[in-house]
Amino acid sequence: MNQSLAKVLYVAGVTTFCTFLGCWAVLAHQENRPSSARQSTQRAHYSDEVFVRDAAEGSMAEVKLGQLAEEKAQAPEVKNFAKKMVEDHSKALEEIKQLGSKEGINMPTNTSHQDAEIYRRLAKLSGPEFDRAYSQEMVKDHQKDIAEFKKGETSSQKPDVKEFAQKTLPTLQSHLELAQQMQAHVSREGMSKGKASGGSSQK
> For residue 173, what is the enclosing H or E element?
helix 159-202
Q: What is the CATH number of the domain that holds 186?
A: 1.20.1260.10
- Say which range, 46-50, 54-58, 123-127, has the weakest mean pLDDT: 46-50
Is position 52 within any domain?
A: yes
The residue segments making up the domain with residue 67 are 45-202
Tens-digit pLDDT profile for residues 125-141: 999 999 999 999 999 99
Encoded amino acid at 126, one letter: S
* Separation CA 64–CA 85 (nearest Å): 9
Is position 9 within any domain?
A: no
Q: Could you count the other beta carbons within 10 Å of the beta carbon of residue 7?
A: 10
Encoded amino acid at 170, one letter: P
Q: For the whole model, what pTM was predicted?
A: 0.72
Name the domain count of the chain: 1
Among the listed residues 183, 178, 162, 187, the one whose alpha carbon sits nearest the alpha carbon of residue 87: 178
Q: What is the DSSP letter of 75?
A: S
Among the listed residues 173, 152, 159, 172, the one whose alpha carbon sits nearest the alpha carbon of residue 103: 159
Is position 93 within any domain?
A: yes
Is position 133 within any domain?
A: yes
Is position 119 within any domain?
A: yes
